[in-house]
Amino acid sequence: MFYHRKELFRPVSVGTPDAQFGQYLLEQFGGATGELTAALQYWVQSFHVENAAIRDMLQDIAIEEFNHLEMVGKLIAQHTAKIDQTDVYDAPLFQIKGGGPHFLDSSGSAWTATYIQEGGNVVRDLRANISSEAGARQTYESLIKRTKDEGTKAALVHLLTREITHANMFMKALDAMGKLEDPYFGNVPPDDTVDIVFNLSAGEDSRGPWNEKPFRYIENPQPQGGFPPPPVNPDDEKAKLTGVKKVAAAAE
């Protein structure tokens, strides 16, 4: 059951409307890291997660994200309530589509379901969610740096804070499954290269725990695959080249 209350989850009060900033805010309404993406991602994940406690968490956070979507929408509506001709070059999206939020990002690209990461396995879902929260937090930080309006800033700092809380919840859920530090999940066992790491960018190398023991570090990786068979293409041009010779590889 969905039941909407008209009061906002948290206060949203814009002091000085700024249509251009309203356009930036679209990033968190109809953009990849935005609240619609988060709300729909966690909500749809809840349909295929068997664990009741994690399903409950996903539903709680999904609905909080819908609250955030409403707050960002109200911010955009207040920032674009008065667009006169002087703002036309600053906020062209609102001149064309009218004031208020639209499911576009700050560049005018339409929201797309390809932003949503979900499916198959709850570990995959929760790891994707940590990434989503990181993206949302970073976008909010960029937005906070671009506004001087105190009311806007207060709302955005709250929204940024909540994304940190959500990331923490998803990390705790993975930890409770023993999957925060264990990269393996699912039902297909890895092959014997699972502990091998390659040095594939030469010059001024740096090492860290990601390529020290118990990892097996390959300092000078060599190709293991041999030469692949040449392509077979019945439609390709069959003309013979003149002046072509095979040359032995130069010794190093």
User: Where on the chain is the footprint of Mn ion (CB under 5 A)?
Assistant: 35, 65, 68, 163, 166
| Phi–psi pair at 47, nearest 5 degrees | -70, -25
Is the Cβ of residue 68 or residue 79 nearer to Mn ion in the bound state?
68
- The distance of closest approach from Cβ of residue 213 to Mn ion in the complex, given in angstroms and rounded to an integer, is 37
Is the Cβ of residue 19 or residue 72 nearer to Mn ion in the bound state?
72
Contacts of 216 (CB under 8 A, 6+ apart): 195, 196, 197
- The distance of closest approach from Cβ of residue 72 to Mn ion in the complex, given in angstroms and rounded to an integer, is 8
Residue of 137, 130, 131, 134 lying closest to 156 (CA atoms): 137
Rounded distance, CA 116 to CA 63, Å? 16
Residue of 9, 8, 66 lying closest to 37 (CA atoms): 66
Is the Cβ of residue 72 or residue 91 nearer to Mn ion in the bound state?
72
- The distance of closest approach from Cβ of residue 92 to Mn ion in the complex, given in angstroms and rounded to an integer, is 27
- The distance of closest approach from Cβ of residue 70 to Mn ion in the complex, given in angstroms and rounded to an integer, is 11
Token output for 241:
């080249």
Write the single-letter amino acid at 184. Answer: Y
Is the Cβ of residue 83 or residue 143 nearer to Mn ion in the bound state?
143
Rounded distance, CA 22 to CA 70, Å? 14
